[in-house]
Chains A and B, each alone.
Chain A
Amino acid sequence: DQQVKQNSPSLSVQEGRISILNCDYTNSMFDYFLWYKKYPAEGPTFLISISSIKDKNEDGRFTVFLNKSAKHLSLHIVPSQPGDSAVYFCAASASYKYIFGTGTRLKVLA
């Protein structure tokens, strides 16, 4: 039972444009959501998070949106840069246990 789903395995975006990565979840008990970026042969790097009491959190080029009624969150990267090319994982938590999606591979084209 996949509680956190990233339905797009891959995404290609032109440099300078917006990248939108999506994530859906099923467990209404989740109250903390995170995005991680992962390069090959490295560990996930924390990017940005949002608690369930908010619907938006922004940090530089990265913005996370949370729609609790739809059980959906998204990560917006604008403007996208070639260095953003990586696999992005969303994660959700009701406590200390993170449930990860299967990742979306983002490729930013120069």
Chain B
Amino acid sequence: NAGVMQNPRHLVRRRGQEARLRCSPMKGHSHVYWYRQLPEEGLKFMVYLQKENIIDESGMPKERFSAEFPKEGPSILRIQQVVRGDSAAYFCASSYDRGGNQPQHFGDGTRLSIL
């Protein structure tokens, strides 16, 4: 399967714990995007990363949230001290190139539930 891989598929955390979501882009893709979807809403852009660089994190809350895409290994979205409002589906997408007419391809998401 050469698609975008996300794990875990489901993650349950208690308030105050940390959540780590992983994303391996499609083979050959070096551009990674994270989106969040709340129930009955569309996906909302959070952050755009290229290898080792954060290009745009304008959609990500300034506190508690961070993202990285190291030279080796998957991209990680990290949420510290989770709160109930963090419960959502988090989707990662990747593309071969930035912008232009290159569609982003999505993984199956991580469903985060906060108890």
Q: A interface vs B, CB < 8 Å? A: 4, 32, 34, 36, 41-46, 49, 51, 89, 91, 93, 95-103
Across the two chains, which residue of chain A brings its CB closest to B4? A43
Name the B residues within 8 Å of A44 (CB-CB).
43, 91, 106
Name the B residues within 8 Å of A95 (CB-CB).
98-99
Are the CB atoms of A102 and B42 closer together than 8 Å?
Answer: yes
Name the A residues within 8 Å of B45 (CB-CB).
97-99
Name the B residues within 8 Å of A97 (CB-CB).
45, 48, 56, 59
B31 contacts partner chain A, Cβ-Cβ < 8 Å: yes
Q: B interface vs A, CB < 8 Å? A: 4, 6, 31, 33, 35, 40-45, 48, 55-56, 59, 91, 95, 98-101, 103-109, 111
Chain A binding surface, main DSSP class: strand
A-B pairs with CB below 8 Å: how many?
Answer: 60
**Interface residue from A4, A93, A96 paired with B56 (Cβ < 8 Å):** A96
Across the two chains, which residue of chain B brings its CB closest to A50? B101
Name the B residues within 8 Å of A34 (CB-CB).
103
Contacts A43-B109, A44-B91, A46-B103 given; indicate if A96 touches B43 (C-beta within 8 A): no
Are the CB atoms of B104 and A102 closer together than 8 Å?
Answer: no
Can you list 25 residue pairs at the A/B interface with Cβ under 8 Å?
Answer: A32-B100, A32-B101, A34-B103, A36-B106, A41-B111, A43-B4, A43-B91, A43-B106, A43-B107, A43-B109, A44-B43, A44-B106, A49-B103, A93-B99, A95-B98, A96-B33, A96-B56, A96-B98, A97-B59, A98-B35, A98-B104, A100-B35, A100-B43, A102-B40, A102-B42
